[in-house]
Amino acid sequence: MIKTPSKKILIVTGSDYTDQVYQAFVDARSLGHRLYLLSDGSFEPKPGIFAKHFTYDLRKTKEVLDYMKNQPDTFDAVTIKTSEWLTPLTALLAKQYGCIGNDPKVAFNCRSKYHMRRELEKAGVSIPKFRLCRNFDELKSAIDEIGIPCVAKPVGGNASYGTFMVRHKEDLEVLRNNYEKSIDYLKKLAVAHDVFAFSREEMDLIGIHDHVDMVTDYLVEEFMEGPEISADSLTQDGRTTIMGVADQIRMRPPYFVQLAEKMPYVCPAKKQKEIANLVSKTVSAMNIQNSPAHTEIIFTSEGPKIVEIGCRIGGDNIHDSIFQTTGYNLMYEAIMIALGEKRNYDIQLKCHTAMEYLLPDRRGTVGKIRVPQAVRENPDITEISIECAAGDQVEVPPTSFIFLGYVCAKGGTPAEAQKNLKSALSQISINIQ
């Protein structure tokens, strides 16, 4: 038997992983490869997986590149799971080591919603009208130009942080408050959490000359009305395969925080084909050649339009939901693509999943969190993620856009998955005092 020569794989991350994701690393190791981790040092990875754990303040893109350049190690592959804000850094590292990956400019174009819109517009992909706004006055004139209803969102946001709708003229009265509160929130996240800005020097390094501020620049977009889905795909050598399509349920406007999700999106074959074609077109418009991608689509009365695309695996439950519904481990597939291993996929539906976010319904302090052991051990409950702790201060939009956690369940039919989810949710509680 010919043994695969051992390769050195660098994984970049902003947070720790689930056991299912660690399994991808175990499987890559069992092929003889060595894994390395680059994180901000905010967690201790599982022992015995990574040959070395590099830690650095990952908000400082240029410094991280220099730090890694000064290490004795070089790598044969560099990849990431979900951390949206680290996709340009991952691409720059891949380039630094001459590895397969997204071009840094491609990753930046996905990261900045303004650059993304321009790339999609150039390629003739269906998108809403949009305007870039660098301050409140520009926001107001963009709303005049685009018209009401419209949506305002930060160019560098994620998880719908700071995104709000102007539904009617009366909303203009709270526009300044919405905008200023959202920017305050984004500024806090830029220091403490995950909304990373890039310095001018870093944007030049990536090859971006029309600079944007990820934290304070906004887009105003025409409001797209209709149901929303997301599609996770894998692209290898420019060929795209859909791995899972999810039905997204979002908060009622003016805010868009996601409430729940079902997978797969149940629809006729013709519509599935339409989704696959649109995703392929979007992926190639962004020039994504070898990478996972997460694309969001709204079906408007004028046809489907793109909300956004990320050159990474979808966040939160998506990894688990695709694993449950297809058996494919997207982290493992991302590693194989980064290694240049030729992949073929045979997607057979294994089950349905249903997920619901745990959201604060008011301002307060997190009190008792209750997750019964029986729910944790229930095989139909595939993921329980609690992302708050007793004593945490919580708020609702536009002051804060956080969620407290989420629960994901599976079943043989959509109704069964939903029933299992509701039963688990009825036993889980997070008190807000």
Ligand X SMILES: Nc1ncnc2c1ncn2[C@@H]1O[C@H](COP(=O)(O)OP(=O)(O)OP(=O)(O)O)[C@@H](O)[C@H]1O
The footprint of Mg ion (CB under 5 A) covers 296, 308
Contact of 111 with 84, CB cutoff 8 Å: yes
**Binding to ligand X by residue 110, rule CB under 6 A?**
no
Query: CA 309 to CA 110: how far, in whole Å?
Result: 6
Q: Which residue is nearest to ligand X (CB)?
A: 256
Q: Give whole-number Cα distances, 53 to 12, 41, 47, 95, 284, in Å.
A: 10, 8, 10, 20, 34
* Closest to ligand X by CB, 33 or 153: 153
**Binding to ligand X by residue 247, rule CB under 6 A?**
no
Contact of 376 with 428, CB cutoff 8 Å: no
Both structure tokens of 328: 């494919």
Q: Which does 115 bind (CB under 5 to 8 A by kind): Mg ion, ligand X, none?
A: none
Q: Quote the least distance from Cβ 250 to Mg ion, whole Å.
A: 10
**Binding to ligand X by residue 104, rule CB under 6 A?**
no
Q: Quote the least distance from Cβ 333 to ligand X, whole Å.
A: 21
Query: CA 276 to CA 127: how far, in whole Å?
Result: 17
Query: CA 425 to CA 357: how far, in whole Å?
Result: 10
- Please list, in sequence order, all residues whose beta carbon lies within 8 angstroms of the beta carbon of residue 261, skipping any fewer than 6 positions away: 230, 246, 247, 248, 249, 317, 321, 354, 355
Q: Which does 202 bind (CB under 5 to 8 A by kind): ligand X, Mg ion, none?
A: none
**Binding to ligand X by residue 160, rule CB under 6 A?**
yes
Q: Which of 250, 281, 350, 419 binds ligand X (CB under 6 A)?
A: 250
Q: Quote the least distance from Cβ 303 to ligand X, whole Å.
A: 14
Contact of 167 with 175, CB cutoff 8 Å: no
Binding mask 401-430 for ligand X (x = CB under 6 A): ------------------------------
Both structure tokens of 17: 């992983």
* Closest to ligand X by CB, 150 or 243: 150
The length of the chain is 433
* Closest to ligand X by CB, 295 or 420: 295
Q: Which does 221 bind (CB under 5 to 8 A by kind): Mg ion, ligand X, none?
A: ligand X
* Closest to ligand X by CB, 296 or 320: 296
**Binding to ligand X by residue 256, rule CB under 6 A?**
yes
Query: CA 20 to CA 392: how far, in whole Å?
Result: 28
Which span sits near ligand X by CB under 6 A: 51-59, 218-226, 265-273, 331-339? Answer: 218-226
Query: CA 310 to CA 159: how far, in whole Å?
Result: 12
Q: Which does 256 bind (CB under 5 to 8 A by kind): Mg ion, ligand X, none?
A: ligand X
* Closest to ligand X by CB, 80 or 224: 224
* Closest to Mg ion by CB, 25 or 196: 196
The strand pairing partners of 8, in sequence order, are 34
3-state secondary structure of 145: helix
Q: What is the full DSSP assignment across 188-200?
A: HHHHHSS-----H
Binding to ligand X (CB under 6 A) within 138-157 occurs at 151, 153, 157
* Closest to ligand X by CB, 251 or 276: 251
Q: Which does 128 bind (CB under 5 to 8 A by kind): Mg ion, ligand X, none?
A: ligand X
Name the nearest CA neighbour of 86 among 105, 113, 59, 54.
59
- How many residues touch ligand X under the rule CB under 6 A: the total is 22
Question: What one-letter code names the amino acid at 36?
Answer: Y
Edge-to-edge strand order for the sheet containing 34-39?
Answer: 50-55, 34-39, 8-12, 77-80
* Closest to ligand X by CB, 128 or 398: 128
3-state secondary structure of 88: helix
Q: Quote the least distance from Cβ 219 to ligand X, whole Å.
A: 8
Helices then strands, counting H and E runs in the chain, come out as 13, 19
Contact of 349 with 326, CB cutoff 8 Å: yes
**Binding to ligand X by residue 159, rule CB under 6 A?**
yes
Contact of 134 with 217, CB cutoff 8 Å: yes
**Binding to ligand X by residue 128, rule CB under 6 A?**
yes
* Closest to Mg ion by CB, 202 or 308: 308
Q: Which of 39, 90, 109, 158 binds ligand X (CB under 6 A)?
A: 158
Helix (H) or strand (E) holding 127: none
* Closest to ligand X by CB, 213 or 222: 222
* Closest to ligand X by CB, 37 or 159: 159
Edge-to-edge strand order for the sheet containing 130-133?
Answer: 130-133, 218-222, 150-154, 164-166
Which span sits near ligand X by CB under 6 A: 20-28, 30-38, 158-166, 201-209? Answer: 158-166
Binding site for ligand X (CB under 6 A): 113, 128, 151, 153, 157-161, 163, 221-224, 228, 250, 256, 258, 296, 298, 307-308
